[in-house]
Chains A and B, each alone.
Chain A
Amino acid sequence: MASKTINIKVKVWRQKDSNTKGNFETYELSDISTDSSFLEMMDVMNENLVEEGKDPVAFDHDCREGICGMCSLFINGHAHGPDTLITTCQLHMRKFTDGQTITIEPWRVGSFPVIKDLMVDRTAYEQIMQSGGFVSINTGGVPDANAIPIPKEDSDEAMDAASCIGCGACVATCKNSSAMLFVAAKVSQLALLPQGKIEGAKRAKNMIAKMDELGFGNCSNTGACEMECPKGISLAHIARLNREFLVANVKG
């Protein structure tokens, strides 16, 4: 890999806390290796700020390998930045050019209030999961794992849906701030499997009711969520969610 360095300007959203108005600050960074990850670039920026005795920029991150779903960030107008099918932590500086200005914003969603700078509160997702994102079984007393054969196609499709990392990019991208793709991923995964099918309709109804209660918007089938999803979760799952929801309403 050809290693080189670039100089960039970073325009970052700074906000003291949820009650204070925020604003953009611009920082100049030099000699950033193009082999660095985007968050490593931000580490360098923060090290500089700490050296100057200033408050470093707060942002969420943890596993730094694209699976925990903790990192967020709107980068140059895109959730998780310009590259496709990756999270911010997997984005690398080789996607940027020397002299470029990079704008970094938090998820801007009413149901995800800003905690500080680029860090938002995604507790609403937790509440949706608690309202029905599970199979109602306890530990122990379950049948042998091979007792119920499941068609490979169904299992594979359930796995596609289950890849959701709960990062919130879909909501942040949606013009209606809808959480439909997030909810659909879980409802669809479990509806595809015999273990989850039993509670399928009830689950869809409860999770959608909770989503509405928490102020997420409606789905207008624009498909932007699918485009920006770092895990490529398909809109087809929303169709399955709608089916389950319809069944729930017919059943009453």
Chain B
Amino acid sequence: MTKLNSKIPEGLIKDKWANYKAHQNLVNPANKRKLDVIIVGTGLAGGAAAASLAELGFKVKNFCYQDSPRRAHSIAAQGGINAAKNYPNDGDTVYRLFYDTIKGGDYRAREANVYRLAEVSNDIIDQATAQGVPFAREYGGLLDNRSFGGALVSRTFYARGQTGQQLLLGAYSALSRQIGLGNVEMYNRTELMDIVIVDGRARGIVTRNLITGKIESHFAHAVVLGTGGYVNTYFLSTNAMGSNGSASWKAYKKGAFFANPSFVQIHPTAIPQHGDFQSKLTLMSESLRNDGRIWVPAKIEDAKAIREGKLHPNDITDENRDFYLERRYPAFGNLVPRDVAARAAKERTDAGFGIESNPTGEGVYLDFKYAIERLGKDVIEARYGNLFQMYEKITDENPYENPMKIFPALHYAMGGTWVDYELQTTIPGLFSIGEANFSDHGANRLGASALMQGLADGYFVLPYTIQNYLAYEINNPRLDPKEHKEFQDAENDVKSHIDKLMNIKGNTTVDTIHKKLGKVMWNKVGMARSEKGLKEAITEIQQIKKDFWSDVKIPGEVNTLNVELEKANRVADFIEIGELMARDALDRNESCGGHFRLEHITEDGEALRRDDKYMYVSAWEYKGENTEPELHKEELKYEAIEVKTRNYKTA
């Protein structure tokens, strides 16, 4: 029997959210002052939620590991944010945005949540504009749109190549205002170490001050995780160095189910790896696929000559270039969804057509020659200038004159903490928002939809749904953590966990172990997965875990700034997350979206879903240190959308 209740409201899909809001419980203004909410994370989801809840009158405590809430990794999102405004009059509707998102996710997301997301998308654009977010405009003074993958309409709003930055600074400004007013207590450079459960409900968190090492407890009537995704499990990704999955993992170990852990997004256009010392991969925005054409040499000998430095790509004529996305997907061309584009790049490089001279020979071209000929260099510079500058600084090559070299890289986690329609986890009083939860993107996220989801959850969904929970908390007084055993026990557990790490005193650095984990993940739980590879991955990850706990080397002291300890603490969790990802990928014996099982491929190399067996959300329950987790299934029902095979070849 499943323990999952997704709490989807009654009614037609278009009425569900309105019905929910009409009947939910609310908290009156006088009682809001008596209720505390902890929000962990200050990105688009966490920052927007903290500001919005404080504006409503709740007492908010907000935490981030960076030195300022403005630095959360939402800031790095480049290309844009989707909304169903239909300003270009090109046929967009709420239903179409909903449909594209479900289809883009390869029919593995929950209909009701996605429809609500599409419904509130327009409010986000209005809100950001009112905050002073300088979205791109036309000469007439109205907002401009561009196209992104997986859609036939232009619905993406943008602020040059810094849309995430501008939206985050908007949320941050609202948050700063609430901090200044005393409605939000902000804790910078503070990391969540555990979640405290009292009588079956989330009642607070234990944190570590990253400067002093001090372990502290904080009480709240509800706890919200807006802590982002876990793709740094792979070591190399487009995430920030500090991005981690530990908050979601602590929640999992306290009883919150973890959903679809194997669903991660590999973004097709990042700058290829240059060597073993590389610390991260830099993304080149999907917006570039509006004007760039992706190709590899059509002749294998040309590819070889390029890798050997004997041939320059500009010397290859058009008929000897293979524009493989345009060839394989005529309807969507270079704007196919990310999973499709990433896989197609891998297919070409595996076949020997890669162009990069790095050890793996991985890389394809993204060429602006044609757009520059058509539109002029000035137009391209105005559209993508900052991205081109970033590319040149990293690679020392001028992308106006030479095609960019790109290759897929780990980017985003569609999987995450399981939540119901109210964004509540299986632990009462614990909520999860933004990338940290699983609910909206299925097996593949469309471009420009992460910003949309983070802000939707933070501004317009959680501030409603959390009240349906908090309405029952108005008679519960604040607890003093010092007087409650549950808090003291949690603090002691955290301290002994840290002592255990510090006492290993081994010989291998944290990064060495993390890189080893990353290699296993990339090779066996990456873009192509198989039963054999996944089984090997589980065994290898278990060995890495043993090595970590017997041989990791952490210098320094506990009660001070200790970066190696911070990293070790996160990597300990990445190792376990990696194992669950492999386990989930093994269970899901089908291909869908970014999850590509070599056993299930169509004749022309596309992902082959098995809807009869796997049309469910996998939700894993922690069962103890050395016990296998238990799989729960949330069956997915499609009532508003007809389930089809994803097709980007024809409209």
Contacts and interface: CB of A to CB of B under 8 A. Distances in A.
B66 A62 contact: yes
A69 B67 CA distance: 10
B398 to A, nearest CB: 12
B140 interface: yes
A193 B132 contact: yes
A37 interface: yes
A250 interface: no
A252 interface: no
B344 interface: no
Interface residues of A, number: 78
A158 B132 contact: yes
Given A139-B174, A159-B134, A195-B130, A47 B509 contact: yes
Contacts of B459: 139-140
A130 B141 contact: no
Contacts of B123: 140
B177 interface: yes
The bracket for how many chain B residues form the interface is 35 or more
A27 to B, nearest CB: 15
Interface string B183-209: 000101000000000000000000000
Contact of A145 (B125, B139, B390): B125
Interface string A139-150: 110111110011
Contacts of B330: none
Interface in B56-93: 66-68, 70-71, 73, 75-76, 85, 87
A90 interface: yes
Given A152-B139, A158-B132, A189-B132, A3 B274 contact: yes
B511 interface: yes
Nearest to B211: A115
B127 A142 contact: yes
A137 B71 contact: no
A164 to B, nearest CB: 9
B556 interface: yes
A92 B135 contact: no
A78 B460 CA distance: 44
A122 interface: yes
A25 interface: no
Nearest to B459: A139
Given A150-B141, A195-B130, A70 B277 contact: no
Given A123-B188, A134-B173, A62 B241 contact: yes
Contacts of B188: 123, 126
B165 A130 contact: no
Interface in A175-199: 189-190, 193, 195-196
Given A3-B275, A50-B564, A166-B68, A155 B389 contact: no
Contact of A33 (B48, B277, B395, B561): B277
Contacts of A151: 141
Interface string B135-160: 11111111100000000000000011
Contact of B553 (A43, A50, A131, A142): A50
A178 B130 CA distance: 30
Contacts of B282: 64-65
Contacts of A126: 68, 176, 179, 186, 188
Nearest to B186: A126
Q: What 5 pairs between A and B have smallest CB-CB spacing?
A: A149-B141, A130-B180, A134-B173, A142-B130, A145-B129
Given A50-B553, A69-B70, A189-B134, 9 more contacts: A36-B274, A37-B279, A40-B279, A47-B509, A64-B240, A64-B280, A69-B68, A129-B172, A145-B85
12 contacts: A35-B274, A37-B394, A58-B563, A62-B240, A65-B283, A69-B71, A129-B173, A145-B135, A149-B141, A159-B166, A166-B68, A189-B132
